[in-house]
Amino acid sequence: MKNFFLAFSLIFSILLSSACVDKSANSTTNSGSGDGDIKVGVYGDTSGATSSFGQSTKNGIQLAFDEINAAGGVNGRKLIMLFEDDQGRPEQAKTVVSKLINQDRVQALLGEVASTNSLAAAPVAQDAKIPMITPSSTNPKVTEVGDYISRVCFIDPFQGLVMAKFAGNTLKAKTAAIIGDVNSDYSKGLTAVFEQEFTKLGGRVVAKEAYTQTDPDFKGQLTKIRNLNPEVIYIPGYYGQVGIIAKQARELGMNMPLLGGDGWDSPDLWKLGGESLKNAYISNHYSADNPAPEIQNFVKAYRAKFNTAPDSLAALAYDAAKVLADAIKRAGGTDGAKLKDAINATKEFKGVTGSITLDANRNAVKPAVVLELNPTDSKFTFKETINPEGMSAPTAANTNTMSNGNMMMNANAMSNGNMMMNSNTTNSNSNMNSTMNANR
């Protein structure tokens, strides 16, 4: 009897594995817009200096694909992710995207996170006419590469403006210093926007210091900044350096607010920066604390699968995957030209990072959030939602009138003719004024 079961399970597993081989053989021969599985190339950094970006992105896409496939796929076709690690290096990003296109014959691409890597790979996708959606690269140049390249996130002229307004209007700072990554298009773009917008508000940028991702130490640059005693420091970089910069700034006795952008978003930031990340604020794409049911359902499903909270990379990747699936459905398949048209026509797609509408330049027009860093709990706490101009209507995902104790968002976004944006500010949990006064 035992033998019978053994033999039975052996035969069963052989059958199962041959079914799997058959399936993948099918999908590898499917190079066009036929009806086999749909192969989506995903590229990102899972082993380099920004490895948490790639890991979260991969997870977000996996969750979206699993949900879509469990519900029957797209027009009956399953979505298969082919992932390549580019180690966070632009040259490698270009190489793996060529491989995904020419060897693996993917029908669409999702990636990268860091703008410099997306910029390196986008021309390959554009030339091959394979649609590429970057979930999270915010530098404007990325989508300027061509009509096959789009994104589901906002761009840096908006993100930089949000933080300049936060510094000038909310914190009432008159002087700022900037320390940025000279090899990152993302960092350079944000530096320029922040300076321009902060200056327009009557503020003055008193110092601009540069670093590279391989710098062992930032105290030289920080000491120069300290001598000028700015009221805030803007650090438009990635978490790996930001965590250390924050720590070294505090060691040098610099206790002013530190401001940043989405590039800070990583669970590793807390390990690097610890308590020195107190009195710091960033602009970001979404808040996992938002009580809106669609966000909380996503957070729950992600936690169940990956045992950690989804950061904004995971949320944007999830949205990018769902936008792609929606476009494949509308395009009636994966023909490159039709698919890119369908992606570019995306309107009011209800994502977990807000309502996604692509503008004429294939950039998503959507709100940003300002988050306060809470190192004691290793958490980003929601402060306010900022809508771009022309978007005063609250969206399901960014607005909720319910207070959950930690936050209360105001659903009535006030439009201000002078401003390029409007904001929904927290009514509770605001210790902003006392924080600011303590630093003056």
Site of interaction with ligand PHE (CB under 6 A): 53, 113-115, 136-139, 186, 262-263, 265, 312-313
Q: How far is the CB of 334 from ligand PHE (least distance, A)?
A: 26
The conformation of residue 74, written as its DSSP 8-state character, comes to B
- Give 113 or 120: the residue with its C-beta nearer to ligand PHE: 113
Q: What is the C-alpha separation between 440 and 251, in angstroms, rounded?
A: 19
Element (H, E) at 243: helix 239-251
Q: How far is the CB of 402 from ligand PHE (least distance, A)?
A: 26
Q: What is the C-alpha separation between 344 and 148, in angstroms, rounded?
A: 9
Tell me the β-bridge partners of 149: 132
Q: How far is the CB of 260 from ligand PHE (least distance, A)?
A: 10
Q: How far is the CB of 69 from ligand PHE (least distance, A)?
A: 26
385 SS3 class: strand
Number of Cβ within 10 Å of residue 402's Cβ equals: 10
- Give 114 or 167: the residue with its C-beta nearer to ligand PHE: 114
Residue nearest to ligand PHE (CB): 186
**Hey, what are 429's tokens?**
């949990």
How many Cα atoms sit within 13 Å of 145 on the Cβ side? 28
Picking from 200, 122, 134, 124, the residue whose alpha carbon sits closest to that of residue 161 is 200
Q: Are 80 and 108 in contact (CB under 8 A)?
A: no
- Give 217 or 359: the residue with its C-beta nearer to ligand PHE: 359
**What per-residue string of b and e applies to 129-156 under the rule 16 or more CB within 10 Å gives b?**
ebbbbbbbbbbbbbbebebbbbbbbbbb
- Give 166 or 286: the residue with its C-beta nearer to ligand PHE: 286
- Give 207 or 238: the residue with its C-beta nearer to ligand PHE: 238
Q: Are 304 and 397 in contact (CB under 8 A)?
A: no
Q: What is the C-alpha separation between 423 and 392, in angstroms, rounded?
A: 9
- Give 197 or 231: the residue with its C-beta nearer to ligand PHE: 197
Q: How far is the CB of 113 from ligand PHE (least distance, A)?
A: 5
**What per-residue string of b and e applies to 405-425 under the rule 16 or more CB within 10 Å gives b?**
eebbbbeebeeeeeebbbbbb
- Give 37 or 112: the residue with its C-beta nearer to ligand PHE: 112
Q: How far is the CB of 322 from ligand PHE (least distance, A)?
A: 17
Q: How far is the CB of 437 from ligand PHE (least distance, A)?
A: 31
